Structure 1
Amino acid sequence: MEVTLLGTGDTTGTPTVDCDCDTCERARAPDAELRERVRERGIDPTDGVERSRFSVFVRSESGESLLIDCSPDFRQQFLDADVGLPDAALVTHIHFDHLDGLGNAYRLFDDLPVYAADETDPVTGESVAGGIRSRYDYLDTVTVRPQTPYEPFSVAGLEVTLVPVEHPPLVCYGLRIEEPATGAVLSISGDTCYDVPERSRELLSGADLALVEGIVHPEACEFHPKGGADFDDEGVPRTFGTKHMTLPGARQFAADIGAQEYRIVHTAHYVPADRAFADDIALDGERFSL
């Protein structure tokens, strides 16, 4: 299984448009130390480093490929990564930064099967699959294929399970992706707070690689209207507000599920520049062979 991180940032990405914070400036013009560390990850930092909106490309031993979430940065991500177009896509939830790149299916695909949960969201009154249908009913090339959470299904030479997580007020799903041919496992937490249901934690456990959402440093909770939650023994919040993990929360979650290797994804530019580029926080363009 080959995993390419197309997009590793949050809603605005890093660098953020028209932002001159230290983190965005360092991303645009990495210093020598950061350039060297980025090169060690197999990324060319010549034009700066990027965390565009979230998306992951997975290629199985069969040669087929699956796109996880359709980032609004779809076009540039695929030009940069040079991985070819996917055979299928999967959408974890209906927030725009995970969905709105689906419009790129126009003229690029003869047929793109898009997998999503069939579970009705009590807030919206429709499932993620239904939300995709209603938003993209004009795309004849898109075929929505509803799937039931916790029930494995096969796509692109992979066995995929939608795993419910906690991202109020909307339903959202993490993923367990296993390659039957090799036994390799990729876990994706999805957008979530630290308080993930135990059944979901079990399914996300034991991965060769885990992509775990961690949006900001814990001190940022002081500025959120709902503060933080899921405090550790030292009083550090693992949840920012109610629906995202802090960086310490993401690190603890990766340890909880026993991932052999992990990367923190969906990270915002609010993280201070001296912490925003730690080696375990993902950057666009990282590739893994599982």
Structure 2
Amino acid sequence: MQVTLLGTGDTTGTPTLDCRCDTCEYARKHGIERTRFSVYIQNERTDESLLIDASPDFRRQFEREGVDLPDAIVITHVHFDHLDGLGNVYRLLRDAPVYAANETDPVTGESVAETVDRKYSYLDAIEVQPTAPFEPVRTCGFDVTLVPVDHPPLLCYGVVVEDPETGAKLTLSGDTNYAIPDDSRAAMADPDLLLADGIVPAHLCEGHPAGGDHHDDEGTPRTFGSKHMTREGAIALADDLDAEHTRLVHVAHYYPVDEAFEEPLAVDGERFSL
């Protein structure tokens, strides 16, 4: 299993357009990118590849990393920075099975699968595959499982990708706060690599209108506001899941520059062999 981090940024990416903060200026000067979130997973045995989330930066990411177009796609939720890159498959792919959860979201009145189908029904290449959470599907030679996480107000899912031949396991937290349900944590546990949402450091919760949540015993917030984990929350999740290796993704440019590129924060283009 070969994993390439195509996009490791949040909804605005780093550097953020028209932003002159120290972190964005440092990224520009040093040629560092955190484009909108997307992960590419190659199965070398079957010569197939799987894309987790379709970033609006789809074209740039694939051109920059020089990877082949995907054979299948998983969509974790319907926020634009994870979904709207699907329009890029037009005239690029002949067929693209898109796996997405089949649970009806009480906020939108439709499942993620139904939203994908509605928004992209004009694209002949897209073949939506409604998928039940916790029920693995076999695609690209991998067993892929959607697991519910907590990203209010919409339904959102983490993803577990396992190679049935080698036992390699990749876990993606999805966009989530720290309050991931126990049954999802059980499915996500013991990964070789965890990609965890760590949008900002915990000390920035002081500036959020909702503050922080899910504090540890020392009072450190593991959730920023209500939707995303802090850096400290993501690291705590890695410990909870007994992850062998962890990279923080969905990273915002709000990290102070002296913290923005420290371990275990990821940047675009990182590659892992599991």
Q: Which band: TM-score by shorter chain?
A: over 0.9
Deviating above 2 A after TM superposition, structure 1's stretches of 4 or more consecutive aligned residues are none
1:187 aligned residue: 171
2:35 aligned residue: 52
1:272 aligned residue: 256
Rounded to whole Å, the distance in 1 between the matches of 2:117 and 2:91 is 18
**1:279, CA displacement in angstroms?**
2.3
**1:137, CA displacement in angstroms?**
1.2
Rounded to whole Å, the distance in 2 between the matches of 1:21 and 1:116 is 36
User: 1:1-290 counterparts in 2 under 5 A?
Assistant: 1-30=1-30, 48-60=31-43, 61-290=45-274
Gaps in structure 2 of 5+ consecutive residues: none
Rounded to whole Å, the distance in 1 between the matches of 2:245 and 2:47 is 24
Which whole-Å deviations, capped at 9, do the CAs of 1:138-173 have from their partners, x for residues lacking one?
111111000000111100000011000000000000
**1:183, CA displacement in angstroms?**
0.5
TM-score of the pair, normalised by structure 2: 0.99
Identity of aligned residues (%): 61
1:40 aligned residue: none
Rounded to whole Å, the distance in 2 between the matches of 1:265 and 1:13 is 11
**1:225, CA displacement in angstroms?**
1.6
Gaps in structure 1 of 5+ consecutive residues: 31-47
**1:2, CA displacement in angstroms?**
0.3
CA RMSD between the two structures: 0.6
Equivalenced residues, count? 273
User: Quick check: 137-146 or 216-225, which moved more?
Assistant: 216-225
Rounded to whole Å, the distance in 1 between the matches of 2:29 and 2:258 is 14
Rounded to whole Å, the distance in 1 between the matches of 2:37 and 2:168 is 22
Which whole-Å deviations, capped at 9, do the CAs of 1:8-64 have from their partners, x for residues lacking one?
00000000001000000111113xxxxxxxxxxxxxxxxx10000000000113211
